[in-house]
Structure 1
Amino acid sequence: MKPATAPSALKVQAALGERFEVLEFDASTRTAADAAAVVGCTVAQIAKSLVFRAQGGRPVLVVASGIHRVEEKRIAALVGEPITRADANFVREATGFAIGGVPPVGHTTAPVVLIDEGLMGFGEIWAAAGTPNAVFRLTPADLVELTRGRVAAVALK
């Protein structure tokens, strides 16, 4: 573990400011299970970022607990229009980051943000920070503040 040095991770660090520290690891943090193993937390404490494309073309960022699969019909209902899974090109265009490193902050295009209510019960969570081996620690309240997102039931029941 070391402080951020990769350009994408430094971009996230700049967006976060001094209040948070982006950390890079030699091992992958691309998946929730990988990230949890590397940082030493439960998979549920990993805030995974999923990007969808609303029918009207706007990006929709869903930040979900690492143990939850999201219900796309619920997301569509919350957004008010149909959604589809975003491809890699759309994700990069909408967020400035590749799949596997999309942080819940620092986007050039402000997407609609929905936050899995399942993340709200933890004292701390970990989120992607720009590369497939960078993360940062925050609280659920920090996540809401940073994203200006809406907490909602997005997980499959």
Structure 2
Amino acid sequence: MRLDEVGERIVLPTPVRTVKQAAQAVGVSEDKIVKTLVVKCGEEYRAYILRGTKRLDLDKLGCRMATPGEVAEVTGYNVGGVPPVLRIPVYIDRELLAEDYVYGGGGDEYSLLRFRPAELVERGLATPVDI
């Protein structure tokens, strides 16, 4: 699925590598920026979408962070640009469903994707969970 089928891809003139930089680049508060983290749980890779200001409890999940090489291999994207739509199972923090729009990875460090979290769930692209 193409990213423009689930949101608006915003191409930026400079790279964004932090939540703060992303928020400044599009003129929103930091709580409107989300990150897509890829983890490995046993033999399975998964992605979790959560606010950029929130932490993922890997011990609670029984997982470890995927290495940058693993992320690129299983998603086709480099760390820092991973979008919310992937070919591995995607889980989204339930609290994000209350947001009309958020901004996440747009495929590379020069892009962000503005999307509706609820639409990912409605279209079967992500499963809501409590993070």
TM-score by length of 1: 0.75
The partner residue of 1:24 within 3, 7, 11 is 11
Cα shift at 1:91 = 0.2
Cα-to-partner distance string for 1:47-88 (whole Å, 9 max, x where unaligned): 2111101112x21100011121111233x2xxxxx3111101
User: Unaligned 5+ residue runs, structure 1?
Assistant: 1-13, 77-81
- What CA distance in whole angstroms lies between the structure 2 residues aligned with 1:50 and 1:117? 15
Counterpart pick for 1:149 among 95, 116, 126 = 126
Structure 2: segments with no counterpart, 5+ residues: none
Q: In the alignment, what sits opposite 2:36?
A: 49
Answer yes or no: is 1:15 the counterpart of 2:2.
yes
Alpha carbons 2:8, 2:115 under 8 Å: kept: no
- Number of positions where the alignment pairs a residue of Structure 1 with one of Structure 2: 131
Contact kept, 8 Å, 2:90 with 2:125, in 1: the verdict is: yes
Cα separation, partners in 2 of 1:53 and 1:136, compared to 1, 3 Å: same
Output the aligned Cα RMSD: 1.9
CA apart distance, 1:19: 6.1
Distance apart, 1:113 and its partner CA: 1.3
In structure 2, what is the equivalent of residue 98 of structure 1? 78
User: Structure 1 segments of 4 or more deviating over 6 A?
Assistant: none
Distance 1:37 1:87, change over 3 A: same
Instruction: State the TM-score, normalized to the length of structure 2.
Output: 0.88
Contact 1:33 1:66 (C-alpha < 8 Å) held by counterparts: no
Q: 1-side partners of 2:76 and 2:97: how far apart?
A: 27
Would the aligned equivalents of 1:101 and 1:129 in 2 still touch at CA under 8 Å? yes
2:63 is aligned, of 80, 83, 97, to 83
Percent same amino acid at aligned positions? 28
2-structure distance, mates of 1:17, 1:136: 8
Q: Which has the larger radius of gyration?
A: 1
Give 3-state SS (helix, strand or coil) of 2:73's partner. Answer: helix
Q: Which is further off, 32-41 or 91-100?
A: 32-41
Q: Helix, strand or coil: the match of 1:21?
A: strand
Residue of structure 2 in register with 1:72 after alignment: 58
